[in-house]
Structure 1
Amino acid sequence: MKLDHKSRLYGMISMTFMAAALLVSSGASAQGNFDGVELSIEPVAGNVHMVQRPGGGGNIGVQIGPDGVLLVDSLFEPLADKLVAAVRQVSEEDIRFLINTHIHIDHVGGNRSLAERGVLIFAHDNTRVRFFEEMSRFPRAGGTFVPQQPEAARPLITFNDTMSFHLNGEEVRAFLAPPAHTDGDVFVYFSESDVLHLGDVYRTTSYPIIDVYNGGTLQGTIAALDLAIEIAGPDTKIIPGHGLDVVKRDALVAFRDMIVDIQGKVLAMIRDGKKLEEVMAAQPTSAYDAQWTNDPGWGPDDFLPVVYYQLGGSGRLLDR
């Protein structure tokens, strides 16, 4: 039987809508899933700290000082009170501002709770548009749906290319990256602290997750990493969207070079007329799998089809 892998990648509509219905009906149980989760907060550099949850998912940037607290992302809704408590360990000042780096639920889920505390939310124009979709679709498991976020969670202030905060003795610059993880990816650079938060464009746990449902692209991922490498100096501390380690510029270079290497191998096979199944059987990621498959739900079988189709591959799977 022939199976169109592209439809596998972008499909599974009925199954994921059923999953969405279950998700909507099980909001109470979602709270229970986070009951035992403890957040930690660690200094990064200067005015900037990082809040983490176990496993290093959805890392939060925290800038503190006498002018108040600025957050980068907000974790899941059930963790909002714990996020505030973690911030209170290093500052008693009000949390005043929140920047969303993109639309995913582990980065915007706490928006409503923080907004109800008087926090002003900022994001890129494209990210706010995603808040109006009746169901938000994400790339794991062939396309997973979550319900629309409440109106109170929507960013009140949006920008097109860049905006700056002048807070706690430093300029904090938020700016649009090329469409990489999504089409609303925002980098946040804390100038005096020399800390760069890259959202989910960069992670230390897996191959890049290119969310084609929300405008992510392979070429944009490489371009976004090139931009981050250009901005980062030798001592810049870099907060990944996922992962337990704050890194430096050389880690970004290695991550970018890995993607470029895999891209080159896949493109060569496409030019040789290889079908997707043949490309996957050739295991062009094998040299990297041990390092970049530490995030359950996103491995070579998820990453390679995206690379293949983003590079123009169109072959169907071979007969089984």
Structure 2
Amino acid sequence: MNKMILLALLVSLLMPLSVSAQVPDGFFDVQLRTVPVAGRVHMIQRPDGFANVGVFVGEEGVLLVDSQFKPHAEQLLAAVRDLSDGEIRFLINTHVHPDHIGGNEPLATGGVLIFAHDNMRVRMLERRSRFPRGNGGFFPQAPAAARPFVTFKEQLTFHFNGEEVKVFLAPPAHTDGDTFVYFTESNVLHLGDVFRTTSYPVIDVYNGGTLAGTIEALDLAISLAGPNTRIIPGHGVDVVGREEVVQFRDMIVDVAQRVRELISQGETLDGVIAAEPTKQYDDKWGRVASWSEKDFIPIVYHQLGGGSLYE
């Protein structure tokens, strides 16, 4: 099994990198690192916390949550091997974006079984997938081997490594196929890109994401998390707790209310942006140049009925 995965990885890394056009030069020239989370769960991440992978290890093997970018596939496998020499048996994808499904193909070719929500597979079958950044550019259709082999409608449960792993659909937030993964005994929640600590929420309206669903999904996560629950963000350097999710949710609700009031006063999108409804939060959540308040405010404006997303 391990030799098969390694061979598949080496072959795949020789193929053209379809995602490379979406990222700046040198973006992939980093080393992945491993962070213990709680219980049997670890997190593998880039130094910038971009697209965090959950790793669940035990005597029955390994379960992964997301697979990073394709160029990181060989590193990802090596990092998993540092944690366990058990068979990598299952991969759960939290949503459709290439930074979370890039390693699917080489892992699947090596025998790993991929699970995801029905909507995610439907999105992967589209000829070209719309990209939320840069006014909705496109990235190529995922290869057939990268698609989930098993899909679900509402939820499923793994009974694995002596623990129940609950997998369930979240309200349409980041996309319409967002999946939460809860490791019940380890008390760890992986929230995918519904929650991030590095920027304002990326609400991918081209793949079914919504503002209302983002708030609802965060409320769901908050209701599930206890005082000792550890939470893996889709993007973010640190493993956090319930309070950080509450702060993120409260920020979104506050910004939405401010934008709603400006819309009721007849403000155009330009007027709403000029009013700086996110100003008090920009130092914390507006630091990512590729997704700042300039990207977030138009989506909130659009989702609240203010007008077209882009003129």
TM-score when normalising by structure 1 = 0.89
Q: How much has 1:34 moved relative to structure 2?
A: 6.0
C-alpha distance in 2 between matches for 1:192 and 1:44: 13
Match of 1:222 in 2: 215
Equivalent residue letter for 2:297: L
Superimposed CA distance per residue, residues 265-313 of structure 1 (whole angstroms, 9 cap, x where no aligned partner): 0001111111111110000000000000222310111000000010010
Of residues 72, 75, 88, the one that matches 1:79 is 72
Match of 1:100 in 2: 93
Change (3 A) 1:67 1:313: same
RMSD of the alignment, in Å? Answer: 2.0
Check if 1:276 corresponds to 2:249. Answer: no
Listed as ranges, the matches of 1:18-167 within 5 Å are 27=18, 33=26, 36-167=29-160
Q: How much has 1:35 moved relative to structure 2?
A: 5.7
CA contact (8 A) 1:277 1:317 kept: no
Equivalent residue letter for 1:73: D
Superimposed CA distance per residue, residues 219-257 of structure 1 (whole angstroms, 9 cap, x where no aligned partner): 000000000000000000000000101000000100000
Superimposed CA distance per residue, residues 113-162 of structure 1 (whole angstroms, 9 cap, x where no aligned partner): 00011100000000000111111111111112111111000100000000
Superimposed CA distance per residue, residues 158-210 of structure 1 (whole angstroms, 9 cap, x where no aligned partner): 00000000111100001000000000000000000000000000000000000
SS of the equivalent of 2:55 reads: strand
Equivalent residue letter for 1:58: A
C-alpha distance in 1 between matches for 2:86 and 2:41: 14
Identical residues among aligned pairs (%): 61
C-alpha distance in 2 between matches for 1:214 and 1:125: 13
> Please, which runs of 5 or more residues in structure 2 have no aligned partner?
1-14
> Please, which runs of 5 or more residues in structure 1 have no aligned partner?
1-23
Check if 1:233 corresponds to 2:211. Answer: no
Superimposed CA distance per residue, residues 56-95 of structure 1 (whole angstroms, 9 cap, x where no aligned partner): 0000000000110000000111111110100111100011
Q: How much has 1:27 moved relative to structure 2?
A: 4.6
C-alpha distance in 2 between matches for 1:316 and 1:42: 38
Q: How much has 1:314 moved relative to structure 2?
A: 2.3
Match of 2:11 in 1: none
C-alpha distance in 2 between matches for 1:88 and 1:291: 35
Equivalent residue letter for 2:69: F
CA contact (8 A) 1:77 1:109 kept: yes
The count of corresponding residues between Structure 1 and Structure 2 is: 295
CA contact (8 A) 2:202 2:296 kept: yes
* Superposition misfits of 4+ residues, deviation over 6 angstroms: 28-32, 315-318
Match of 1:306 in 2: 299
User: Whose relative contact order is higher, 1 or 2, with alpha carbons under 8 Å and at least 6 apart?
Assistant: 1
CA contact (8 A) 2:174 2:194 kept: yes
Match of 1:13 in 2: none
SS of the equivalent of 1:89 reads: helix
